[in-house]
Amino acid sequence: MRVLNILVICALVLAASAVYKIKFDSTLQAARVAKLRNELRVQRDALAALRAEWAKLDTPARIEELATRFLKLQPVKATQFENFDNLPARPPAGSDAGGAMVAVPEPATTGSVPAPAAPPARR
């Protein structure tokens, strides 16, 4: 009977230590979750501040003021535009002006593809 009591007491001590370890681990995990939530809140606040700064820097009025200050652009004059009479003539229908400028390369022969056979001569 004495051995049984000692085994029960040992089992109770082991169970109590297992419960304590589980509680300690869960407390550590809760602290870690709280730390991550705090970091997430800080990062969201920083992101909101950066978006607000971007919106301020991206305003058209600010960009226009910087362009006039640093680029020294001149306004567009109506005489800078050409009329349709000075445009080059349209190419004839059916011609491919852009395609004529591009040379079509011959297909390359590789070791895995045999060279095309020459067609037989006609008489």
Res 83: pLDDT: 77
Domain presence at residue 62:
yes
Res 18: pLDDT: 95
Query: In a structure prediction context, what are the per-residue pLDDT tens digits for the chain, which is 123 residues long?
Result: 899 999 999 999 999 999 999 999 999 999 999 999 999 999 999 999 999 999 999 999 999 899 888 888 887 787 777 777 877 777 777 776 666 666 566 666 565 656 667 677 666
Q: Give the containing element (helix H, strand E) for 70.
A: helix 60-70
**pTM, rounded to two decimals:** 0.45
Domain presence at residue 4:
yes
Domain presence at residue 83:
no
Res 25: pLDDT: 95
Domain presence at residue 17:
yes
For residues 107 and 102, what is the distance between their CA atoms, to the nearest angstrom?
Answer: 15
Domain presence at residue 106:
no
13 token code pair: 């001590």
Q: Give the length of the chain.
A: 123
Domain presence at residue 13:
yes
CB 85, CB 79: distance < 8 Å: no
Total number of domains in the chain: 1
Domain presence at residue 103:
no
Q: Determine the structural domain holding residue 37 and report its residue range.
A: 1-67
Domain presence at residue 31:
yes
What per-residue string of b and e applies to 4-26 under the rule 16 or more CB within 10 Å gives b? eeeeeeeeeeeeeeeeeeeeeee
CB 33, CB 40: distance < 8 Å: no
